[in-house]
Homo-oligomer: A and B are copies of this chain.
Amino acid sequence: MDYRQAGVDLHGAAEAQRRIAERARTTFNPSVLSSIGTFGALFQPDFSSYREPVLVASTDGVGTKIHVAVAAGRHDTVGYDLVSHCINDILVQGATPLFFMDYVAVGRLDPGTVDAVVEGVARACREFGCPLIGGETAEMPGTYAPGDYDLAGFIVGVVERDRVLTGSRVREGDLLLALPSSGLHTNGYSLARKVLLEAMGRDVHSVLPTGETVAEALLAPHRCYLPALGPLLDAGRLRAMAHVTGGGIPGNLPRVLPAGLGACVRREAWTPPELFLLIQREGRIDEEEMFATFNMGVGMILVVAPEELGNVQRNLESRSEGSTLIGSVVAGAGVSFV
Contacts and interface: CB of A to CB of B under 8 A. Distances in A.
A38 B103 contact: no
Contacts of A157: 40
A302 interface: no
A29 interface: no
A206 interface: no
Contact of A11 (B9, B41, B246): B246
A55 B140 contact: no
Contacts of A208: none
Identical copies of this chain, number? 2
A135 interface: yes
A59 interface: yes
9 contacts: A4-B255, A40-B90, A40-B157, A42-B54, A59-B101, A59-B136, A60-B103, A66-B143, A140-B150
A36 B164 contact: yes
Contact of A36 (B52, B154, B168, B245): B168
Interface string A35-71: 0111111111101000011111111110110110000
Contacts of A142: 64, 67
A269 B66 CA distance: 49
A161 B31 CA distance: 12
A95 B43 CA distance: 12
B36 A56 contact: no
A141 interface: yes
Given A44-B52, A63-B138, A150-B105, A57 B7 contact: yes
A17 interface: no
B4 A36 contact: no
Contact of A64 (B61, B140, B148, B190): B140
Contacts of A166: 36, 38
B58 A41 contact: yes
A93 interface: yes
A103 B155 CA distance: 12
A61 B150 contact: no
A32 to B, nearest CB: 10
A33 B45 contact: no
Contact of A134 (B9, B59, B102, B167): B59
A249 B164 CA distance: 45
A195 interface: no
Interface in A54-113: 54-61, 63-64, 66-67, 89-90, 92-93, 95, 98-99, 101-103, 105
